[in-house]
Amino acid sequence: MSSHDLSLSRRIRQTPFTNKAEEHGVSGFTVVNRMLLPKAFKKSIEEDYWHLNSNVQIWDVSCQRQVQITGPDAEKLVQLMTPRSIKNMKVGKCLYVPLIDENAGMINDPVLLKIENNKFWISIADSDVLLWTKGVAISYNFKVNIIEPEVYPLAVQGPKSEELMVSIFGEKIRSIKFFNFGLFNFLEKKQVIARSGYSKQDGFEIYFEGYEAGEKLWDTIWKAGKKFNISAGCPNLIDRIEAGLMSYGNDFTIENNPYECNLGKYLNETSHNFIGKSALEKIKIDNINKQMRGIIFDENPCPTCSHPFPVYSENNEKIGQVTSAIYSPRIKKNIGLSMISKKYWNKGNKLIIETPEGKRRNGVITSLPFPE
Ligand code: THG
């Protein structure tokens, strides 16, 4: 870790795969849920993007921590935390669920897994869901046990991921549908394997349970992956923006409601009771005044968007800010994600994006995900 200028301690946690990522040339990390997430490897983001589009990659996404809820009131508690109905959720299913607070502000946008009746995993983005969940459970006197289990997701992403996974875990892999999971043996232990992942490619997430055997799992995948031209990677910014996948804390925060985040499509059945219900109903009636959009914009590859880029209308009104942006070698333009004021959010509307060099670039609103 010495070369990465990040002093590690128990507060900034390594993963079972950190040594492997280092062995395979990781060149930088970020921190999510107080755990390391590889951010870049030796190859450029663009090279990695093309590789991900036609091969298979292994990603250490252990920072997608699980909040495990077990006990007789587990389902009640989970349902109280999200406006998305889980009434018909079956064991083996994953659901993308907004978690909201009493003002309908986004607490997190996790993937929910029903592991057993009375056992759920909430696979979280970067915010303190464990503490929120414990607080809610206490105030409602629920009979539940809430922990962060020893589960470290490892993603296998890309069009060749199915063939690779079949070669290790068998033909049963093929029958896992998108956002479902099955149980598979690895070294005598059952592991949850889902068809999901933070990319628009086909892919799997192994919710690896344990710690010590993590390197063995990585090595097994790596060895089998050689003939599929595997490489070590991480969530790819070009692919993520093209897919319209948002990142909590960056593209939206607790200040935003699910409708602003385009998550309204998951909220068609909201007759159940949940925290933030009256606030959410009010928003639905009063309507929202901004929403997440894709933007395509001109000129040379834009700089890293570590600070939001302001967005203006053609008559120079501030109408939003780009929070994720990068040059897409496929679209051959810069692409970005931005909340945009209602008056200007229609597809095809023209706008101006100001990047840090002081450049004003012409842009246009597009649909999400970005068009093929
Ligand atoms: N996988 C797992 N946990 C996660 C993420 C993940 N936790 C953090 C973060 N990512 C949560 N955010 C997302 C955002 C989008 C998706 C998954 C997690 C996603 N969305 C699909 C889409 O928008 O097309 C499909 C959603 C659906 O239709 O249900 O995949 O990546 N384990």
Residue 2: its pLDDT value, please? 44
Determine the atom of ligand 1 nearest the C-alpha atom of 235.
31
Closest CA to 176 of 245, 253, 113, 100: 113
Residue 273: its pLDDT value, please? 97
Percent above pLDDT 90 for the chain: 94
**Ligand 1 pocket, residue 235 CB under 6 Å:** no
Determine the atom of ligand 1 nearest the C-alpha atom of 95.
29
Domains with residue ranges and CATH for the chain: 3-65+150-241 (3.30.1360.120), 66-147 (3.30.70.1400), 289-372 (2.40.30.110)
Residue 1: its pLDDT value, please? 44
**Ligand 1 pocket, residue 21 CB under 6 Å:** no
Q: Are 16 and 210 contacting, i.e. CB atoms less than 8 angstroms apart?
A: yes
Phi-psi region of 71 (alpha: psi -120 to 50; beta: other; left: phi over 0): left
Cα–ligand 1 centroid distance for 361 (angstroms): 31
Mutation test of ligand 1: which of 89, 121, 196 has the most ligand atoms closer than 8 Å to its C-beta?
A: 196
Phi-psi region of 218 (alpha: psi -120 to 50; beta: other; left: phi over 0): alpha
Cα–ligand 1 centroid distance for 263 (angstroms): 12
Q: What share of the chain is helix, strand, coil (3-state, %, to 5)?
A: 25, 35, 45
Determine the atom of ligand 1 nearest the C-alpha atom of 243.
24
DSSP for 216-244, written as a single string? HHHHHHHHHHGGGT-EEE---HHHHHHHT
Q: Are 337 and 323 contacting, i.e. CB atoms less than 8 angstroms apart?
A: yes
**Ligand 1 pocket, residue 291 CB under 6 Å:** no
Q: How far apart are CA 152 and CA 121, in angstroms?
A: 12
Nearest CA to ligand 1 atom 28: 96
Percent above pLDDT 70 for the chain: 99
Q: Which residues contact 309 (CB under 8 A, 6 or more apart)?
A: 302, 321, 322, 325, 336, 353, 354, 355, 356
Q: Are 367 and 292 contacting, i.e. CB atoms less than 8 angstroms apart?
A: no
Q: Are 345 and 290 contacting, i.e. CB atoms less than 8 angstroms apart?
A: yes
Nearest CA to ligand 1 atom 32: 123
Tokens read off for 14: 């390594």
Determine the atom of ligand 1 nearest the C-alpha atom of 113.
32
Q: How far apart are CA 66 and CA 351, in angstroms?
A: 40
Determine the atom of ligand 1 nearest the C-alpha atom of 194.
32
pLDDT by residue, tens only, the chain of 372 residues = 444 577 888 899 999 999 999 999 999 999 999 999 999 998 999 999 999 999 999 999 999 999 999 999 999 999 999 999 999 999 999 999 999 999 999 999 999 999 999 999 999 999 999 999 999 999 999 999 999 999 999 999 999 999 999 999 999 999 999 999 999 999 999 999 999 999 999 999 999 999 999 999 999 999 999 999 999 999 999 999 999 999 999 999 999 999 999 999 999 999 999 999 999 999 988 789 999 999 999 989 999 999 999 999 999 999 999 999 999 999 999 999 999 999 999 999 999 999 999 999 999 999 999 988
Nearest CA to ligand 1 atom 16: 198
**Ligand 1 pocket, residue 245 CB under 6 Å:** yes
Residue 4: its pLDDT value, please? 55
In sequence order, the β-bridge partners of residue 312 are: 318, 352
β-pairing, 145-147 vs 66-70, is antiparallel
Q: With a threshold of 0.75, does the pTM exceed it?
A: yes
**Ligand 1 pocket, residue 151 CB under 6 Å:** no
Q: How far apart are CA 231 and CA 238, in angstroms?
A: 17
Mutation test of ligand 1: which of 198, 234, 370 has the most ligand atoms closer than 8 Å to its C-beta?
A: 198
Residue 285: its pLDDT value, please? 80
DSSP for 297-323, written as a single string? E-SSPPPP-SSPEEEE-TT--EEEEEE
Determine the atom of ligand 1 nearest the C-alpha atom of 108.
11
Look-up: residue for tokens 């990040």?
6
**Ligand 1 pocket, residue 111 CB under 6 Å:** yes
**Ligand 1 pocket, residue 336 CB under 6 Å:** no
Q: How far apart are CA 370 and CA 261, in angstroms?
A: 16
Residue 309: its pLDDT value, please? 98
154 φ, ψ (degrees, to nearest 5): -125, 125
**Ligand 1 pocket, residue 64 CB under 6 Å:** yes
Nearest CA to ligand 1 atom 8: 125
Tokens read off for 97: 């669920």
Mutation test of ligand 1: which of 32, 59, 111 has the most ligand atoms closer than 8 Å to its C-beta?
A: 111
Nearest CA to ligand 1 atom 27: 96
